Structure 1
């Protein structure tokens, strides 16, 4: 079983390019290393939106346990060190495959 988390962000006005550059530098390194393969990532610059998904083996409880470890990790702390808040709004949900 694999659990997928959809992450939709509305970015702070004027921060789209800086956010995407930071994301490309850090997330492909730290998320997969923590057990969260990146399923996809798309940007909508005209509306300051960024949408991406990560997954992990197991159910939602296993995902949340792994995420708790990731949030407390040195790798994540390094990725976010000194980075200004560039996300104005977060919408993060677990999603389910509906393709038959």
Structure 2
């Protein structure tokens, strides 16, 4: 399968941006990487209360199939992390490199 990259923009609930970033870094990133995803970077836009990041997957499955594996993982469930507790809105865009 070709490499698929998504640019994800999350609008975070007021007052929870730093907590979200910490949990993302400590819990989400390690599991994503364990499952073969690559993280291309992450940024905080404090003015808009947003968190932006690049996630990619290149392997024998599609991005969607691998993402479903992430969500059904017992390790993911053990996090006790419900994105709805932190995120007001999410935007996921599949992008390709132009440079």
Q: CA–CA distance in 2 between the matches of 1:68 and 1:46?
A: 32
Q: Is residue 10 of structure 1 aligned with residue 11 of structure 2?
A: yes
TM-score by length of 1: 0.86
Alpha-carbon distance change, 29 to 58 in structure 1, aligned in 2, over 3 angstroms? closer
Q: CA–CA distance in 2 between the matches of 1:66 and 1:44?
A: 28
Question: Corresponding residue for 2:74?
Answer: 74
Q: Gapped runs of 5+ residues in structure 1?
A: none
Mapping for residues 1-100 of structure 1, pairs under 5 Å: 1-58=2-59, 62-79=62-79, 81=80, 83=82, 85-99=85-99
Shift of 1:56: 0.6
User: Where has structure 1 moved over 3 Å in runs of 4 or more?
Assistant: none
Q: Deviations over 1:3-52 (max 9, x none)?
A: 10111000011111111111121122111011111111011122210000
Q: What secondary structure sits across from 1:47 in the alignment? A: coil
TM-score by length of 2: 0.87
Provide the aligned C-alpha RMSD in A: 1.9
Q: Gapped runs of 5+ residues in structure 2?
A: none
- 1:3/1:58 contact within 8 Å kept: no
Q: CA–CA distance in 1 between the matches of 2:95 and 2:36?
A: 18
